[in-house]
Structures are given as C-alpha cells and as structure tokens.
Chain A
Amino acid sequence: MELWSRMLWALLFGPGRKGGTRGWAFSSWQPHPPLAGLSSATEVVSHWKGVFEKKGIPEAQESSEYIVAHVLGAKTFQSLKPVLWTQPLTPQQLQCIRELSSRRLQRMPMQYILGEWDFQGLSLKMVPPVFIPRPETEELVEWVLEEVAQRPRAVGAQGGPLILEVGCGSGAISLSLLSQLPQSRVIAVDKSEAAISLTHENAQRLQLQDRIWIVSLDVTLEGSWTHLLPWGPMDLVISNPPYIFHQDMEQLAPEIRSYEDPAALDGGEEGMDIITHILALAPQLLKDTGSIFLEVDPRHPELVSSWLQSRPDLYLNLMAVRRDFCGRPRFLHIQRSEP
C-alpha cells in the first residue's frame, strides 16, 4: 500500500494501534472487524446488518439499507441503480456509513440519523426531539383530501379551505395538505419552539411559507386559543395530538423514549387530555358545519363518543371512524352542527 493510502487508512480507522497497519483491529475504539479489501454496497449492508443484530438493534436489515442508500444518494436501497449495488465504495463513503451506523447503535431513530424523512411525497427535515411523522398519519391526510374533494365548498375571495392544525411538529400534515390543496391556507400551532422552528424551515424548503401561519401556542392553556379567533372561522381542524396513555409511556421503545419529545406523545391518564381540549375549543373556531379530523389510539373512538355525549353543549357529532393499514380504528371525523 502506498504511503498516502496507509496514512488515510490510519486516519479513518482511528488511533491507538499497537503498530502496523492492521493493529487497529485490536483497538477498543474499533470493536468491529475490518472490511477487507474493496467492499460493495451489498456487502456493506450485510456487514452492518450483522453488527446491528449482534447488538440487538431492531430492524437491522432496514437500518443498514437506509444508511447505505442515503450515503449513496438514494432514499431506499431498492431504488438505487442496480449497478451501484456491486461497485466498491470509497473510503469517505465507508466512513460516513460508519458514523451513521454508530448512531443507530445508540438506538437513534433512522429519521434523526438521516436528518430527513418522507411524508406524502414530501421530503421533510427531521431534528430531535421534534416528533417524527408516523406512516399511519399519511392516511389521515388522504382522508381529509377525499373529504375536501367531495365537498365543493363556497370558496371565498381567498380560496380555501382554511385549516387549523393543532400540534404541527415537523409540519408534515400541514405541508402535505398545502401542497395538494393549492387554494388552501393553514394555521399551524405547537407549544414546542423546536417544532415551530422546524415547521418554518420545512415550509421554506418546500416554498409553502406564503400560505402557512405558524403560531407558538399551548391549546391546553386557558384562553390561549382566543389568539386564533382573528383568523376567522375555519373549515377544518386537523390533529395528531399526543394520545398515548400515560402508563404506556414507559413501554415505548428506546428509540422513542430517549429521542422524541414526551410532550408530543403523552396524552395523560387515558390519552384523552389534548383530544378533549381540541374538541372543546373547536366549535368556537369552526364554521357552522366545519369538521375535525383526528388521529387517535384504537381505544379512543368509544371514549370520544361517550365524552361527546356528555358535552351536548359543543354540538359535535362523531361522523365516522376509519381504520389504518393495520386494521386498527385510528381516525375520527367529527362534525360541528349548527347550534
């Protein structure tokens, strides 16, 4: 090996050797056996899959594939040009993979490792501890789009619909609605400054900032939502509110427990705290026959139904419950009726 490549090798694979180019294999900083010679993408995926499995990291294969694909410039391994599967990777690429993989070994969620994820065809930046959009939530957006398509609304001077999102997180729901409803406008609120900041950044990346107003607000605080009244009555309220039952919080996987904001997950004793707040304030913000769309825990449809019955003063009716792709009751459509 030439001197310069030996130096590069030494630089890449750490200090603390006993001497010679192979000494680093025994260094405690380097727990994994070296990849001998030139490695292809497929081989590297296999290597890290093995490492993850040994350390009990879930989704070992998928994690490895996403990391390698990302370093090679693709979103998934399957979408890589097949010719790239067998070409050798550069030392820089191998180092990048090594760094990302070490974060996976710390149980960091893939979306935070890659710093981005996709939702409804949009690529969004992801930053801990802002809540990572879940695949189920894409179906919530689909449902809203179907409903909007079926109701040709009396469109005002500024177009529509006017949508309020409660708990916008990374902006996934708001931005996917904006991008697929070119006349819509969104008010997105969140109590986390990190979420406000990230939604703002994602809106700009997608050039949707002109139709979204991002407001720092905690809807559970008395009277806070009155700040939203000036925007006028809304057509829709949409939310994926924190809905986990408090006692279930400690059972969450380390990826979630250690990296995501618990305030974005914990819904209180029966997971209903934020849901009931949204339902209580919605009638004052919604137009006469406006709708609320929620993602919830599978135990909530019944609980929400009884709760609404105990609150006839809200003039809200549970119109439909829709299941997610795993067959679990996951989404609610509640409609306001005229008082």
Chain B
Amino acid sequence: MQRFSFTYSAGPNGALTTQQVLNKQNHFMNTSGLFRFPTQLTRICTVPWGLRLWEKLTLLSPGVAVTLVQMAGKKDRPALLSLDENELEEQFVKGHGPGGQATNKTSNCVVLKHIPSGIVVKCHQTRSIDQNRKLARKILQEKVDIFYNGENSLVYKEKREAEKKKQERKKRAKETLEKKKLLKELWESSKMSTEKRIADSD
C-alpha cells in the first residue's frame, strides 16, 4: 500500500512533529519542485497580482518552503505542491457516538475542504475511513493544483502529454499500415507479371 506523506491527526495533538512531517515529505520533492516556485514568482510579477503573491507566500508555511530547498535525487514525476494540514478542514460523519469498540458506524464518507481556495472534496470510494482520507487528500491536491496553476497544472500537463503520445502512436500505426499496404501491392503486381511471363512463354 502506498504511503502518503501527510500527517492527518485530528487536531494539533497529533503525535508527529513538523520535523517528522518534513522528513517524510522530502522524498516526494525533486529539482522541478524548486523551479516551480521562482517561475510562479516571475509570472505573477508581470501581472498586477501583487496581493495574490503575498497571499500565496503567507499561505505556504515555512515548513513547505524548506522542503522545496531540500532536493532529493528522485527523477520521476515532479510532485504536486503539498497540502498544508493547517489549511484543511476535515469532516467525518456527525455523531460518531462514543467511538472505538462502543460504536459500529459504517458511514465512512470524508469531506475535506481546502480553506484558502474553498475547494471541497467528498470521498466515499472505499469502506475504510483511513483510505478515504488519503484519497481525498490526493484528489484535493490535484484540484488545488489546477486551481492555482490552471493550464500549467500538473494534471493538465500530464493530460496533454498523454494526448500527445496517443496521437504519435496513431500516426506511427497509420504509417506502418500504409507501408504494409504498399508492399503488398508491389508484391502482388510483381507476382502477376511473373505469372504473365510464364503464361506467355508457354
């Protein structure tokens, strides 16, 4: 089962410290994580969105900025900007009762809200609250990425990549088919002319 890098204890009383969270987030970031940040800065500066820039900077906790600098050597998929748990509001089924052994509730739907953007994700994909929480965060992370980065978001970039690859494959397949067709025609016409020569020579 994939391990996610988030801490999701219900309040500020979770057992993980910020440092532990950072250690785990490290290996999801790489060089492009570093370059995303300055690119965003220059783009925003050319547009009169000065206020937006500061909003964004204050929203990202120091912890996240530090993570961006600590690059791991991993070269695969560039990571989405991590969600800060302090910006999330999570809701489970109301009235869970005393909880634990004293309760047996099956309503495992998770509602997760990203406060700065107002995006809400509702997840009831699995029968496990734990899995739904993780999935909700993953989905929310992608939606937040699209919200802030629009066309430049990872989701859209990957979609365009996939579409491009698909078109290339189609093109190659078509070319191969045409080549085969041409070869077949050549072979058949040479066969016919050979037969004709044999027939003529009889």
Contacts and interface: CB of A to CB of B under 8 A. Distances in A.
Interface string A163-185: 00000000000000001100000
B107 A323 contact: no
Contacts of B105: 59, 135
A238 interface: no
A172 B126 CA distance: 16
B10 A320 contact: no
Contacts of B123: 78
B106 interface: yes
Given A323-B9, A326-B96, A327-B10, A75 B102 contact: no
A110 B101 contact: no
Contacts of B16: 146
B103 interface: yes
Interface stretch (B54-62, B65-73, B112-120, B128-136): B128-136
Contacts of A110: 106
B127 A326 contact: no
A78 B128 contact: no
A120 interface: yes
Contacts of A63: 106
Given A109-B104, A134-B103, A323-B9, A121 B125 contact: no
A120 B130 contact: yes
A118 B189 CA distance: 65
Contacts of A119: 128
A111 B106 contact: yes
Contacts of B103: 134, 253, 256
A326 B1 CA distance: 24
Interface string A101-126: 00000000111000001111100000
Interface in A236-293: 240, 242-244, 248, 251-253, 255-256, 260, 264-265
Interface string A322-339: 111111101000000000
B37 interface: no
A150 B125 CA distance: 30
Interface string A205-243: 000000000000000000000000000000000001011
B11 interface: yes
Nearest to A65: B124
B101 A75 contact: no
A135 B129 contact: yes
B127 A325 contact: no
A252 B107 contact: no
Contact of A135 (B9, B11, B13, B108): B108
B198 interface: no
A134 B100 contact: yes
Contacts, number: 120
Contacts of A248: 98, 102
B15 interface: yes
A120 B106 contact: no
Chain B interface residue count: which class? 35 or more
A52 interface: no
B15 A134 contact: no
Contact of A62 (B8, B97, B98, B107): B107
Contacts of B128: 118-121, 135, 138
Interface in B1-25: 1, 3, 8-11, 13-16, 20
Contact of B102 (A59, A240, A252, A326): A252
A84 to B, nearest CB: 15
B48 interface: no
A134 B101 contact: yes
Given A146-B16, A180-B1, A328 B99 contact: yes
Nearest 8 interchain pairs by C-beta: A138-B130, A135-B129, A78-B124, A118-B127, A327-B10, A121-B1, A322-B15, A62-B107
Interface of A: 59, 62-63, 66, 75-79, 109-111, 117-121, 131-132, 134-136, 138-139, 142-143, 145-146, 150, 179-180, 240, 242-244, 248, 251-253, 255-256, 260, 264-265, 295, 297-298, 320, 322-328, 330
30 contacts: A59-B105, A78-B123, A78-B124, A79-B125, A110-B106, A111-B104, A118-B128, A120-B128, A120-B130, A121-B128, A134-B103, A135-B108, A135-B128, A136-B100, A139-B130, A142-B130, A145-B3, A252-B102, A256-B103, A264-B101, A297-B100, A297-B102, A322-B14, A323-B10, A325-B8, A326-B10, A326-B92, A326-B96, A326-B99, A328-B100
